[in-house]
Amino acid sequence: MIPLVAVAHGSRDPRSAAQVAALVDVVRALRPGLDARVSFLDLSAPRLTDVLAGVRGEVVVVPLLLGRAYHAKVDVPAIVHEAGRRSPRLSVTVAEALGPDPRLESAALRRLTAAGVRFDDPALGVVLAGAGSSDNRANASVAAMAQRWSAQTGWAGAIAAFAATVQPDVPAAIAKLRARGAERIAVASWFLAPGLLPDRVYTAAHDAAPDVLLADPLGADPGVAELVLQRYDDTLRASLERTG
């Protein structure tokens, strides 16, 4: 079976690497016998470069990224290209990033439910908080998700907010929801794992709304693990079709 190398961004917060490892554990449990390995782009070990250096033959790299932004478009392909240059016996195919995908959205909603959110609460405003990107399309996909939630639930509204790079930030989003009549606030996490940016989001939300409901990052959700395997399978299928 061709190895799967999952690559996450990485963080100085050890909880992040632990959560990514837990997700890959679920992937292994769903597909016994699959050689599924963990790697990171930066800040955590092992790095993708080092993991690929230890592999020979074919391998599929699955970016554990929630959007198709800079890391997915530039960083991962550049590392893979350099790994192939150093080791001609290595053949790497890169899968699509995890997001956007309805299974991630469902996982985020499950995390909200676990935090105590009811979907028929007309006094609730929900902030969908993500990292923020220099790629406007990645930000737009998060905003579109929040708009769907506004239309499909009984909430006072849902608004996307970002920890960095773009607006609105979390306090501004909470203020907008208050203006729409929200009496209670919840924050949905558009992060895969804990770390500096999720903590920044949670602190800002608690400062603006002390009784806020905080949902956990997507983490080792079985739906996310199934999506990782789907990206792996789709990549293998496309590779077979290209080679005839």
Measured in whole angstroms, how far is the alpha carbon of residue 202 from the centre of its chain?
17
| C-alpha span between 91 and 56 (Å, rounded) | 8
Q: Which CATH number is 116-214's, of 4.10.520.10, 3.40.50.620, 3.40.718.10, 3.40.50.1400?
A: 3.40.50.1400
Instruction: Check residue 84 and give its pLDDT.
Output: 85
For the chain, domain boundaries? 4-99+220-243, 116-214
4-99+220-243: CATH topology is: Rossmann fold (3.40.50)
Q: Which 8-state DSSP code applies to residue 211?
A: T
Sequence-separated (6 or more) residues with CB below 8 Å from residue 4: 27, 34, 35, 36, 37, 59, 60, 62, 228, 232
Instruction: Check residue 70 and give its pLDDT.
Output: 78
Q: DSSP string spanning 22-83?
A: HHHHHHHHHSTT--EEEEESSSSSSBHHHHHHT--EEEEEEE--SSSSHIIIIIHHHHHHHH
Whether 116-214 and 4-99+220-243 are alike in CATH topology: the answer is yes
Instruction: Check residue 244 and give its pLDDT.
Output: 60
pLDDT digits (tens, 9 = 90+) for 85-127: 888 889 999 999 999 999 999 999 999 999 999 999 999 999 9
Q: Which residues of the chain have pLDDT under 50?
A: none
Sequence-separated (6 or more) residues with CB below 8 Å from residue 163: 129, 130, 131, 132, 169, 170, 197, 198, 200, 201
Phi and psi dihedrals of 215, rounded to 5? Answer: -85, 145
